[in-house]
């Protein structure tokens, strides 16, 4: 199913280095948990699935950043990821990064860009 430019949320629902927005990403007829965050002014989206085991990262819905606001953190065992790439930076992800989802921001909307 084509998802080209489907609306995820409004821009003001994703705060800089803070609250992200959870959504469902359709893939192979399945709906997978995903999220979008804002970091240094740009939006990034990933499947909500840790590289350690396929668990969701957020300890409270939409909370993906660690206390420093520089990294995404898995709430279960503390794996750290780069917000701008999803790359594993340390912890139990052991080199397995987050799976990125293409998104764009246009006129106050954040859209899937598939
Ligand atoms: S499940 Fe994320 S670090 Fe273990």
Domain holding 98: CATH number?
2.102.10.10
80 found inside a domain: yes
Asked whether residue 103 carries a pLDDT value surpassing 80, the answer given is yes
pLDDT of residue 98: 98
- The percentage of residues in the chain with a pLDDT greater than 90, rounded to a whole number, is 91
34 found inside a domain: yes
Q: How many domains does the chain have?
A: 1
Q: Which domain holds residue 77?
A: 7-112
1 found inside a domain: no
Contact 80, 72 (CB under 8 A): yes
Confidence of residue 5 (pLDDT cuts 50, 70, 90): confident
pLDDT in tens, 25-48: 998 889 999 999 999 999 999 999
Q: Report d(CA 112, CA 114) in Å as an integer.
A: 6
Phi, psi of 15, rounded to the nearest 5 degrees: -90, 150
Asked whether residue 3 carries a pLDDT value surpassing 80, the answer given is no
Q: Considering only CA atoms, which of 30, 41, 27, 46 is closest in space to residue 98?
A: 46
Q: Report d(CA 99, CA 107) in Å as an integer.
A: 26
Residue 79 Cα to ligand 1 midpoint, Å, equals: 6
The SS3 assignment for 106 reads: strand
48 found inside a domain: yes
2 found inside a domain: no
pTM (2 decimals)? 0.94
99 found inside a domain: yes
Residue 93 Cα to ligand 1 midpoint, Å, equals: 7
């Amino acid at each position: 199913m084509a998802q080209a430019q489907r609306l995820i949320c409004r821009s003001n629902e994703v705060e800089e280095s803070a609250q992200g927005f959870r959504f469902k990403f359709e893939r192979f007829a399945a709906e997978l948990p995903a999220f979008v965050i804002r970091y240094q002014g740009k939006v990034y989206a990933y499947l909500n699935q840790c590289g350690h085991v396929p668990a969701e990262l957020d300890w409270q819905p939409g909370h993906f950043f660690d206390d420093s606001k520089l990294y995404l953190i898995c709430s279960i065992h503390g794996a750290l990821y780069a917000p701008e790439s999803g790359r594993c930076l340390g912890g139990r992800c052991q080199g397995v990064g987050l799976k990125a989802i293409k998104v764009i921001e246009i006129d106050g909307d954040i859209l899937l860009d598939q």
